[in-house]
Amino acid sequence: RKAGELIDMRLHHGAHPRSGATDVLPLVPVSGITLEECAQLARQLAKRIYDELGIPCYCYEAAAYKPERKNLAVCRAGEYEALPEKMRDPDKAPDFGPGEFTEKAAFSGATNVGARDFLIAVNFNLNTTSTRRANAVAFDVREKGRPKREGNPITGKVVKDADGKTVMIPGTLKGCKAIGWYIDEYGIAQVSMNITDINATPLHKAFDEVCRAAQARGLRVTGTEIVGLIPKRCLVEAGKYYLAMQQRSAGIPEEEIIRIAVKSMGLDDLKPFDPKEKVIEYMMEDEAELALREKLIRMTCKDFAYQTASESPAPGGGSVSAYMGALGAALGTMVANLSAHKPGWDDRWKEFSDQAEQGQAILKELLSLVDEDTAAFNGIMAAFGLPKNTAEEAEERKNAIEKATRYATEVPLRTIRAASKAFPLLRKMALEGNPNSVSDAGVGALAARSAILGANLNVRINAAGLLDRQYAKQMTDEAAKMAEIAIKEEMEIINIVNDKINSL
Is the C-alpha dihedral spanning 16, 214, 196, 68 positive or negative?
positive
Q: Are 78 and 29 in contact (CB under 8 A)?
A: no
Q: What is the pLDDT of residue 239?
A: 98
Task: Give CA separation, 333 vs 59, 343, 360, in Å.
Answer: 49, 18, 7
Distance CA 162, CA 364 (A): 60
Q: What is the pLDDT of residues 381-437, one digit of tens each?
A: 999 999 999 999 999 999 999 999 999 999 999 999 999 999 999 999 999 999 999
**13 pLDDT more than 90:** no
Domain 2-115 part of CATH 3.30.990.10: yes
Percent of all residues in the chain with a pLDDT value above 70, rounded to a whole number: 100
Least confident of 12-21, 72-81, 150-159, 268-277: 12-21
Q: What is the pLDDT of residue 3?
A: 82
**Side chain identity, residue 369:** L
Which residues are registered as beta bridge partners of 356? Answer: none
* Residues 6+ positions from 283 with CB-CB distance below 8 Å: 229, 276, 277
Q: What is the pLDDT of residue 2?
A: 82
Count of CB atoms within 10 A of residue 25's CB?
A: 15
Distance CA 211, CA 477 (A): 59
Return the SS3 of 160.
strand
Task: Give CA separation, 137 vs 134, 157, 192, 207, 266, in Å.
Answer: 5, 21, 10, 12, 18
Q: What is the pLDDT of residue 100?
A: 87
Q: What is the pLDDT of residue 60?
A: 96
R_g (Cα) of the chain, nearest Å: 30
Residue 377 main-chain phi, psi, to 5 deg? -65, -45
Q: What is the pLDDT of residue 17?
A: 83
Q: How confident is the model at residue 1 (pLDDT cuts 50, 70, 90)?
A: confident
Q: What is the pLDDT of residue 421?
A: 99
Q: Are 398 and 463 in contact (CB under 8 A)?
A: no
Distance CA 199, CA 210 (A): 17
Supply the DSSP string of 322-339, one letter for each residue.
HHHHHHHHHHHHHHHHHH
Distance CA 221, CA 208 (A): 9
Q: What is the pLDDT of residue 11?
A: 87
Q: What is the pLDDT of residue 5?
A: 81
**30 pLDDT more than 90:** no
**154 pLDDT more than 90:** no
Q: What is the pLDDT of residue 136?
A: 97
Distance CA 245, CA 238 (A): 11
pTM above 0.95, yes or no: no
Task: Give CA separation, 47 vs 113, 389, 395, in Å.
Answer: 10, 55, 51
Distance CA 144, CA 196 (A): 13
* Residues 6+ positions from 327 with CB-CB distance below 8 Å: 444, 447
Distance CA 241, CA 234 (A): 11
**Side chain identity, residue 173:** L
pLDDT, mean over the chain: 95
CATH superfamily for 120-284 is Formiminotransferase, C-terminal subdomain (3.30.70.670)
Closest to 49 measured CA to CA, from 114, 100, 103, 119: 114
* Residues 6+ positions from 89 with CB-CB distance below 8 Å: none
Which residues are registered as beta bridge partners of 27? Answer: 115
**31 pLDDT more than 80:** no
Q: What is the pLDDT of residues 212-269, one digit of tens each?
A: 999 999 999 999 999 999 999 999 999 999 999 999 999 999 999 999 999 999 999 9
In terms of phi and psi (left: phi > 0; alpha: psi -120 to 50; beta: otherwise), the region of 175 is left
Task: Clarify whether 23 is annotated catalytic.
Answer: no
Average pLDDT over residues 139-144: 97
Which residues are registered as beta bridge partners of 124? Answer: 191, 224
Q: What share of the chain is helix, strand, coil (3-state, %, to 5)?
A: 60, 10, 30
Q: Which of 13, 16, 163, 286 is catalytic?
A: 16
User: What pairing do the DSSP bridges indicate for beta strands 57-61 and 111-115?
Assistant: parallel
Domain boundaries, the chain: 2-115, 120-284, 287-502
Q: What is the pLDDT of residue 381?
A: 96
**32 pLDDT more than 90:** no
Q: What is the pLDDT of residues 53-102, one digit of tens each?
A: 999 999 999 999 999 999 998 999 999 999 999 999 999 999 999 888 88
Closest to 138 measured CA to CA, from 127, 129, 150, 126: 126
Q: What is the pLDDT of residue 95?
A: 95
Indicate the CATH number of 287-502 among 3.90.180.10, 1.20.120.680, 3.40.30.10, 3.40.50.300.
1.20.120.680
Q: Which of 95, 140, 371, 373 is catalytic?
A: 373
Q: Are 445 and 490 in contact (CB under 8 A)?
A: yes
**6 pLDDT more than 90:** no
Helix axes 469-502, 391-420, angle to 10 degrees: 20
Average pLDDT over residues 335-353: 97
Residue 158 main-chain phi, psi, to 5 deg? -70, 135
Distance CA 362, CA 453 (A): 17
**4 pLDDT more than 90:** no
Element (H, E) at 361: helix 349-384
C-alpha 381, offset from chain centre: 36
Count of CB atoms within 10 A of residue 286's CB?
A: 9
Q: What is the pLDDT of residues 467-478, one digit of tens each?
A: 999 999 999 999
Is the N-terminal amide bond of 315 cis, ω within 30° of 0? yes
Task: Give CA separation, 338 vs 175, 206, 426, 497, in Å.
Answer: 39, 32, 13, 17
Q: How confident is the model at residue 316 (pLDDT cuts 50, 70, 90)?
A: very high
**Side chain identity, residue 96:** F
More confident residue, 53 or 6: 53
Which residues are registered as beta bridge partners of 190? Answer: 125, 181
Q: What is the pLDDT of residue 291?
A: 92
Task: Clarify whether 303 is annotated catalytic.
Answer: no
